[in-house]
Amino acid sequence: MFVAPAIAQPPAPLAPPSAPAAARGAAEARGLPAGAGAAASGFRPCAAAVVTGGFFAVVEARRRHRRQRRLHDVAAAGRGACARCAAGATVVAEPAEDSPSQDEVDLPPALRGGSLWSEFGVHPPLGSSALQLRRFPDRGLGWVATRDIEEGEALLAVPLKDILCAPMGPDSEAELAAALLQVLGEGPRFDGSPGKEPVDEIWSKYTGAAFPSAPAGAALTWNEADIEALEFPSVVGQLKAYRAHLLQSAEQVAAFTGAPLDRCTWAVNAVVTRSFGEDHLGRVLAPFADLFNDRPMAPAIWAAKRAMNPEYPVTAWTFAETDGEDGQKWFLMRSMAPVAVGQEVAICYGEGSHAEVHVFSSPAELVEAVANLSGRTHSMEPRLELLTNATNAAAPLAVRPGGLGASAHLLSCMEVALVDDVDLPSVREVWSIGAGHAVLQPGVPEDRRAALRKEVLELASQVVTQRLSELTPASADEDEIRDTEAKLAAGAESEDGEERLRRRHLAARFRLGAKGVLSQFLRRAAEDEPTF
């Protein structure tokens, strides 16, 4: 399986922000930046969690004094990409069933044992946590459960003084990247005094050990040809736009910090691939919390869990305060699902990280296609109005994995485009379990409903078949995966060559996964009694 490059939408997930505790020490004192980029399409941001009980009984109060300074020089020029979702701009795959190395020796020396963890004051001490850092063949570092973990269980908490954050907004990637360079001694002082900010040794050790020089999945690491290899026009278009935005961010960071452009690109890349969007904090870089890999969760699964448990969180991460006298503030990670001992503890990066394949780029494109394919001559104007004014008008017109119900938004919109004038006033919003959000539905009588749904599925199948015919066959992707795996196993002659192979491999897995989602849709739609 795969995950579509999630260009634009974590519910409030990975997205980023300001200077480290440093920057943040002051942020904490002055009141944290208001979370601006909170809820996306139907999701609500987390409320701050208040952590009760003994989990944070021992608090190491290491205080550093630095002041936050906004990156004033970063222009707020109009941007094509969504500011909430920097970390969404990565191409990642659903964790493969591969086993991590069993040995700490495969970890960077600075990450072995728990010394850096305790230097940062992460809680609880690594030895009493349920986590063990390991290296995975296809996705770098990640956490493994040392014992069974329950859904909702606290995994680790980073003191707020040790995170970097920037207010959410169009420049949050640039601001956070600049703050990262500042704590590494490569940018101006946070307090505005002359000279460079002194190196924060702990952050320097951590980034040196944990941050890859060029993250394989990041939009910024990919050149135009790499991106075009993803084949799907909507994905290619979004990634190109986001890459352009990030390149501009790197230039802004260079102008502000005076650091070389390649360092600024590295910092923006780090932000894009490792930061979190949090309602109270903005865009956040949090040591050790950024080592969880992605396991996508479809909106419908999230909605079902939320229906059963109103406390089920939007994201695995949240701002938390310890109750009691010390009133410590934390960046807290919780498990979104039960994990058995020995299994990887992964998190869902956000709403946009589930696999889905966009079929239409807009409601206007959808109604035009429906009119052409069905031969309907009724005016599409009132239908377009309904589609564009619906609560979830921004939801992607996409085929999603997980049965036809998961694609209910796409299919219902097509139904609205098809429905006769007489039934138009009956269109209303209904909750779709499969989609995980409300969709439009014409209130046609049951005897006509079956015929309408049959026609919708036939038309949708025609469109999907057409989309598939414009793509290379899946067998070519399988060949590419085999070829790149063999070459990687044999060892590339250079680091650059290895990175290129990894990008080719990831692109092929992405294409294969997306085509699989479309093919599965066609199979389901051709079943005798398809339902959605």
Query: In sequence order, what E strands does 410-456 have?
Result: 428-432, 437-441
The site string for ligand SAM over 202-221 (x = CB under 6 A, - otherwise) reads --------x----xxxx---
Distances (CA, A) of 149 to 95, 179, 448, 514: 18, 34, 49, 32
Query: Per CB under 6 A, does 273 bind ligand SAM?
Result: yes
Least distance to ligand SAM, CB of residue 348, Å: 10
Contact 146, 132 (CB under 8 A): yes
Q: Is 90 or 392 the residue whose CB approaches ligand SAM more closely?
A: 90
- CB burial readout 474-497, b (16+ within 10 A) else e: beebeebbeebeebbeeeeeeeee
Least distance to ligand SAM, CB of residue 135, Å: 8
Residue nearest to ligand SAM (CB): 140
Q: How many whole angstroms separate alpha carbon 179 and alpha carbon 125?
A: 27
Residues 294-313 that bind ligand SAM (CB under 6 A): 294
Q: Is 67 or 502 the residue whose CB approaches ligand SAM more closely?
A: 502
Least distance to ligand SAM, CB of residue 433, Å: 26
Q: Is 91 or 367 the residue whose CB approaches ligand SAM more closely?
A: 91
How do beta strands 49-51 and 317-322 pair? parallel
Q: Which of 18, 207, 293, 328 binds ligand SAM (CB under 6 A)?
A: 293
Distances (CA, A) of 75 to 62, 92, 97, 345: 35, 30, 44, 39
The site string for ligand SAM over 23-62 (x = CB under 6 A, - otherwise) reads ----------------------------------------
Q: Which of 94, 197, 200, 279 binds ligand SAM (CB under 6 A)?
A: 94
Least distance to ligand SAM, CB of residue 473, Å: 24
Q: Is 375 helix (H, G, I), strand (E, B) or coil?
A: coil
Contact 120, 156 (CB under 8 A): no
Q: Is 206 or 532 the residue whose CB approaches ligand SAM more closely?
A: 206
Least distance to ligand SAM, CB of residue 528, Å: 36
Least distance to ligand SAM, CB of residue 92, Å: 4
Q: How many whole angstroms separate alpha carbon 339 and alpha carbon 334?
A: 12
Q: Is 211 or 312 the residue whose CB approaches ligand SAM more closely?
A: 211
Query: Per CB under 6 A, does 13 bind ligand SAM?
Result: no
Least distance to ligand SAM, CB of residue 453, Å: 35
Query: Per CB under 6 A, does 88 bind ligand SAM?
Result: no
Least distance to ligand SAM, CB of residue 289, Å: 9
Across-strand partners of 441?
428
Query: Per CB under 6 A, does 322 bind ligand SAM?
Result: no
Q: Calculate the CA 376 to chain-centre distance.
A: 39
Across-strand partners of 136?
140
The site string for ligand SAM over 95-124 (x = CB under 6 A, - otherwise) reads x-----------------------------
Distances (CA, A) of 255 to 242, 249, 430, 478: 20, 10, 50, 44
Least distance to ligand SAM, CB of residue 501, Å: 14
Instruction: Give the torsion through C-alpha atoms of 164, 349, 515, 462, to 10 deg.
Output: -110
Q: How many whole angstroms separate alpha carbon 199 and alpha carbon 185?
A: 4
Q: Tell me the CB-side half-sphere exposure of residue 262, using CA atoms within 13 A.
A: 2
Q: Is 174 or 216 the residue whose CB approaches ligand SAM more closely?
A: 216
Query: Per CB under 6 A, does 442 bind ligand SAM?
Result: no
Q: Is 83 or 271 the residue whose CB approaches ligand SAM more closely?
A: 271
DSSP-assigned letters across all residues of 59-105: -------------TTS-----SS-GGGGGGSB---PPPSPPPPS-GG
Tokens coding 25: 């020490």
Residues 395-434 that bind ligand SAM (CB under 6 A): none
Residues 125-164 that bind ligand SAM (CB under 6 A): 138-142
* Tokens 């079943």 belong to residue: 527
Query: Per CB under 6 A, does 180 bind ligand SAM?
Result: no
Q: Which stretch binds ligand SAM (CB under 6 A): 92-100, 109-117, 194-202, 428-436?
A: 92-100
Query: Per CB under 6 A, does 92 bind ligand SAM?
Result: yes
Q: Is 218 or 410 the residue whose CB approaches ligand SAM more closely?
A: 218
Q: Is 14 helix (H, G, I), strand (E, B) or coil?
A: coil
DSSP-assigned letters across all residues of 298-361: -HHHHHHHHHH-TT--SSSEEEEEE-SSS--EEEEEE-SS-B-TTSEE-B---GGGS--EEEES
Q: How many residues bind ligand SAM (CB under 6 A)?
A: 21
* Interacting residues toward ligand SAM by CB under 6 A: 90, 92-95, 138-142, 210, 215-218, 273-274, 290-291, 293-294
